[in-house]
Amino acid sequence: MTRLLKGKRALVTGASRGIGAAIAKAMAAEGAELGLVARNGDALRSLSKELEGTSCQCIEADLSTTAGVREAAEAATRDGKPWHILVNNAGVAHQTPLLKESPEAWDALMAVNLRAPMLLSQALVPGMIKAGEGKIVNISSVAAFIGTPGFGTYAASKAALNQLTRTMAVEWGEHGIQVNAVCPTIIMTDMGRQLWDRPDMEAARKIKQARIPVHRFGTPEEVADVVLFLVGPGSRYVSGTCTPVDGGMLASP
Give the tens place of pLDDT for each residue, 188-239: 998 888 888 999 999 999 999 999 999 999 999 999 999 999 999 999 999 9
Please report the pLDDT score of residue 62 as a whole number: 97
Percent of the chain with pLDDT over 70: 100
* 27, 124, 237 from 234: Cα distances, Å: 14, 22, 8
* pLDDT band at residue 251 using 50, 70 and 90 as cut-offs: very high
Assess whether pLDDT exceeds 60 at residue 1.
Answer: no
pLDDT per residue as tens digits for the range 24-61: 999 999 999 999 999 999 999 999 999 988 999 999 99
Average pLDDT of the residues in 90-110: 97
10 in Cβ contact with 27 (< 8 Å) = yes
- pTM for this prediction: 0.96
Provide mean pLDDT across the span 92-119.
97
Please give the backbone phi and psi of residue 212, each rounded to the nearest 5 degrees, phi first: -100, 120
Is the torsion defined by CA of 120, 223, 44, 49 positive or negative? negative
The residues annotated as belonging to the active site are 154, 158
Question: Residue 245: is its pLDDT beyond 60?
Answer: yes
**Contacts (Cβ under 8 Å, ≥6 apart) of 13:** 20, 37, 38, 63, 72, 87, 88, 89, 90, 116, 120
Our CA angle for 218, 245, 191, nearest 5°, is 40
Query: If you average pLDDT over residues 155-172, what whole number do you get?
Result: 98
Q: Which of 205, 124, 113 is nearest to 161 (CA)?
A: 113
Cα distance between residue 219 and residue 227, in whole Å:
13
pLDDT at 2 over 80: no
Mean pLDDT across the chain: 96
Q: How far is CA 81 from CA 131, 139, 192, 243, in A?
A: 10, 24, 36, 30
State the burial class of residue 150 (Cβ atoms within 10 Å of its Cβ: 0-12, 13-18, 19+). Answer: middle
Does the structure show a pLDDT above 90 at 253? no
